[in-house]
Amino acid sequence: MIEKGREGAERLVHVSAASADYDVTVGAGTLLELGRIAREAAGGSRCCVVSETNVAPLYADAAEASLARAGYDVARRIVFSAGEQSKRIGTLGEILEALAERELTRGDTVVALGGGVTGDMAGLAAALYLRGVDVVQVPTSLLAMVDSSVGGKTAVDLSAGKNLAGAFWQPAAVVADVRCLASVPADLFRDSCGEVVKHAVLADAALLDELTARPLTADQLDERRLVDVVARNVAIKRDVVNADERESGVRQTLNLGHTIGHAIEAASDFARGHGSCVAAGLCMMARACARRGWCGGETAARIEACVAAHGLPTGCEVPVDELMRYMAHDKKRRGGGVNIVVPVEVGGCEVRRVSLEELRELVELGC
């Protein structure tokens, strides 16, 4: 249950990436302000909401009503089947065809209403349709609020692995309403905490300690705390995106836990949650780095303690050979090597290049 906080409480985080400036509005009840925010950020006369079968029945009517109040001509919504299995080129093609059927123009706006899959699919469709139209991201899951809706990464999965085809396409605005989290199933909310922990390890030691002492998986969550935690996570990602929009340098640190995590996720045919896989990958990498002397044992222990406090996995049962098959196709691979993120200390990480043989050794140490 989410306890309601003060009405109208909001936090604004401004992103200033190389290709675009935009605001991330985090609050309680901000979905009602979607139309005004979209109008100020993107303008245009028409818009179309893209969502999925779980989220659309809950929030699409409210989103479209807000957009209509702001003066938008709201086209018939586009809804695809919920789940990572829809994050494929075929679904992307269907969305593009639907946008064309609705005759959206370059001056119009796509509204991505849903979790990370929706944000990726609608964002990539917006990047491709007419060579680029505005997209407003409206994340409804914790994972999407703290991570995927910010920064402009959009992608679909291929048979060889996760997020292997995509584009950078910054949103015109992001509207995160923490009240949407009240409808998120407990297991999905728990899964999303994997990225929250990752951000804390990356850049906020105080937040990691807070999360360990008071996990977000507690029975009672108040809106003001959710707004604060989401905004702090967005600010961490904002700082990285501002410094390195295209992932040529420091933005690679956001992949902390992801090299192994993506392999775990792909090995499960995406049945395991992304946040849970990242959490497991994060702990495995931390243990391996501690055993290599790249970080202290205390650092690995603090990370594992926070992950465990949220009921997330600290390891996996997937055979090393199977993990390596997927990591060989990781999009971060360059030739015979892979860039990994090392948690040198809580609040400080660095990117190191390792060979595939060294990566195998790290995975074995992490297990």
Answer yes or no: are the C-beta atoms of 103 and 78 closer than 8 Å: no
DSSP strand pairing (221-222 vs 2-3): parallel
What integer is the mean pLDDT of 298-305?
A: 98
CB 137 within 8 A of CB 152: no
Query: What is residue 309's predicted lDDT score, i.e. its pLDDT?
Result: 96
Q: Are 341 and 285 in contact (CB under 8 A)?
A: yes
pLDDT > 70: percent of the chain: 96
Other beta carbons within 10 Å of 174: 28
Q: Which residues pair with 113 in a beta bridge?
A: 138
Which amino acid appears at position 175 of this protein?
A: V
pLDDT computed for residue 360 by the predictor: 95
- Over range 21-41, report the average pLDDT: 97
pLDDT for 8 equals: 47
Provide the token pair at 199: 């951000």
- Stretch 162-173: mean pLDDT: 95
In the structure encoding, which two tokens stand for residue 286, read together?
Answer: 């931390």
* Domains present along the chain, CATH in parentheses: 2-184 (3.40.50.1970), 244-366 (1.20.1090.10)
| 6 has a pLDDT exceeding 70 | no
* pLDDT(204) > 90: yes
Helix extents (H) in 244-355: 258-267, 274-292, 297-309, 320-327
Rounded Cα distance between 272 and 313, Å, is: 11
Residue 218 has pLDDT above 70, yes or no: no
pTM: 0.91
Per-residue confidence (pLDDT) for residue 221, from 0 to 100:
74
Instruction: Give the pLDDT confidence of 327-346 residue by residue, as tens digits.
Output: 887 766 666 789 999 999 99
| pLDDT score recorded for residue 219 | 60
pLDDT tens digits, one per residue of 73-93 = 999 999 999 999 999 999 999
Provide the strand spans (E) within the chain: 2-3, 10-16, 21-27, 46-52, 73-74, 78-80, 109-114, 134-139, 153-158, 161-168, 173-177, 221-222, 333-334, 337-345, 348-355
Q: List, for residues 137-155, the tens digit of each pLDDT value.
A: 999 999 999 999 999 999 9
pLDDT class for 367, splitting at 50, 70, 90?
A: confident
Write down the number of H helices and E strands in the chain: 13, 15
Confidence check: pLDDT of 173 > 70: yes
Task: Tell the residue number behind the tokens 């994050």, with chain if given.
Answer: 87
| Three-state DSSP class for residue 327 | helix
Q: Which element (helix H / strand E) includes 134?
A: strand 134-139
What type of residue is 94? E
Give residue 334's pLDDT.
Answer: 65
Please state, in angstroms and rounded to a whole number, the distance separating the CA atoms of residues 231 and 130: 33
pLDDT band (50, 70, 90) for residue 217: confident
DSSP run (H or E) holding 38: helix 34-41
Report the amino acid identity of residue 136: V
CA distance 337 to 130: 36
